[in-house]
Amino acid sequence: MAITIHEADVLVCGCGLAGMRAALSAARAATGGPAPVVVQLGCSSGPTGSSFANENNALGILAPQTPYHAELLERRIVEIAGVAYLDRELVRTLLEEGPARVRDMEMLDITFRPERHAACFYPEAQVARVVDGLAAMHARFSGACDAAGVRRLDNMTVVGILRDAAQDDRVCGAVAEDAAGERHVFVAPAVVMALGGPAPLFARHVSGRAATGLGYGLMRSVGVHLGNTSFLQFMWYGGAPRRFVSVAQACGTGRCADTLDAPLLQARATHCPYAWHQPDNAVDHALLVCPDLLEDGQLHLYAHAGNGGAVVDVRARTNVSGLFACGECATGMHGANRIGGAMVLATQVFGHRAGEAAAELSQGGGTLVGRRRMMKPDGPYGEWCDMMRLDGGVPDPVPLPLPLVDTPDSADILAELPRLLERACVPSGGGGQDEGGCGNPAAEGLEAALQLALAEQPLSPVGRLQLLTALELVQHRLRVPVACPS
């Protein structure tokens, strides 16, 4: 096993909508000097991620036409945030800059439907635009990145973040593993996290292809402040083959219809995902305890997209110097729930801002050679940090004295993790499990098991990140009430 060392000015981790927007904006950034060297990891031949690779081959983007509509949308975003973290400045930035980013998409020859549509959680007006043909959309972004000089590397799984011991542990790159299991070190003064949300870790999920679900664990490992992490979007699916199910319609025609008020059913019909902290989630809870409402009895909540991530500022900067976040790796522009199309808009607004800010930061330190320092990798990579002096005197590749596979004991919990995570974090109809800090035995038990495994079991880097991400979800679930307030 060996490591190959690469260098870049900006390293973008992720190749969904947020990652592609960040890479493109970084490469196009006008810094007054040489064009930044931008490397993007995880690229593929087609769309990836919960929005970009959905089963409908179409996506919606929030696109208010007037400041009046933007003001109304801001109010609704606040109304549906629940008891979650929300930054009004980020919300305003999203809505004010959104039209410019939609025009950018049109400049890439991305075609929108001529008609506008209503959005989940906002049925009152036609505030969303829709793109059909996601493969063609991906080709437009890919072509733009290639033309801008982005070096796009496929089949790379990010397994660690590097920090610079000579500069107060600021982030300075990442470690990735390719499809052959070889390790690569990417040295860069600015890193953008755009790896998507944690839905792929759940047994039942509709989060798109090529997603890893490791972003929260990576950011937690270097001390990034995270928020809203257990507030995922959960969608109802049932049948064989699997299909999306309208919960309001299922409950309205089932045996529990008499127990639900018509206004609740009407409110629930205005959005597809389960709604945290909203009265109409009583409809979902009725269905959770009455699964035979569908003819085949196989109705389940599937994890879709995350509403949590790193707490960022308006330039997509985290609290860790040198590290930026966007897409499902960032939060604050929405709370526990989000309006339909708002995440796609967020990928463009804050992906753009992350790319430009990362390029600006990278150029502030002079040339790549002038920025080379002793690097201290996070976590288990600290064992070989003394071999990482990048002043031309290090052999390339560098040996990696680390366990590369999980032990049988650690493999057991990793195999059970998707099922255990569902029991701890998916909404249930049992009352107590939806009360967050008020009591959740499944989450409490999983928290203890995860802490024990992380402390005592030898783990591969990917296995460790899976457990760290799960621990973040469970601990957030335990400390934040998630049921509708009484």
Tell me the per-residue pLDDT of 56-79, one tens digit each, with 9 for 90 and over.
889 999 999 889 999 999 999 999
102 pLDDT above the threshold of 70:
yes
pLDDT band at 241 (very low <50, low <70, confident <90, very high): confident
Helix, strand, or coil here: 256? coil
Burial of 485 (0-12, 13-18, 19+ CB in 10 A): exposed
pLDDT band at 409 (very low <50, low <70, confident <90, very high): low
The predicted structure's pLDDT at residue 286: 82
What is the rounded average pLDDT for all residues in the chain?
Answer: 84
486 pLDDT above the threshold of 50:
no
The predicted structure's pLDDT at residue 429: 57
The predicted structure's pLDDT at residue 485: 39
148 pLDDT above the threshold of 80:
yes
The predicted structure's pLDDT at residue 33: 67
The distance of Cα 18 from the centroid of its chain, to the nearest Å, equals 9
pLDDT band at 164 (very low <50, low <70, confident <90, very high): confident
The predicted structure's pLDDT at residue 8: 93
Can you tell me which residue has the tokens 């179409």? 58
pLDDT band at 242 (very low <50, low <70, confident <90, very high): confident
Instruction: Measure the CA angle with vertex 295, ends 205 and 427; round to 5°.
Output: 35
How many Cβ atoms sit within 10 Å of the Cβ of residue 52?
A: 27
Q: Between helices 17-28 and 134-147, what is the axis angle to 10°?
A: 20
The predicted structure's pLDDT at residue 307: 96
Mean pLDDT across 365-372: 41
- pTM exceeds 0.75: yes
In the β-sheet with 2-7, what is the strand arrangement from edge to edge? 375-377, 157-164, 170-177, 183-187, 2-7, 398-399
The predicted structure's pLDDT at residue 460: 87
Half-sphere exposure of 425 (CA within 13 A, CB side): 35
The predicted structure's pLDDT at residue 257: 59
57 or 87, greater pLDDT: 87
The predicted structure's pLDDT at residue 396: 36
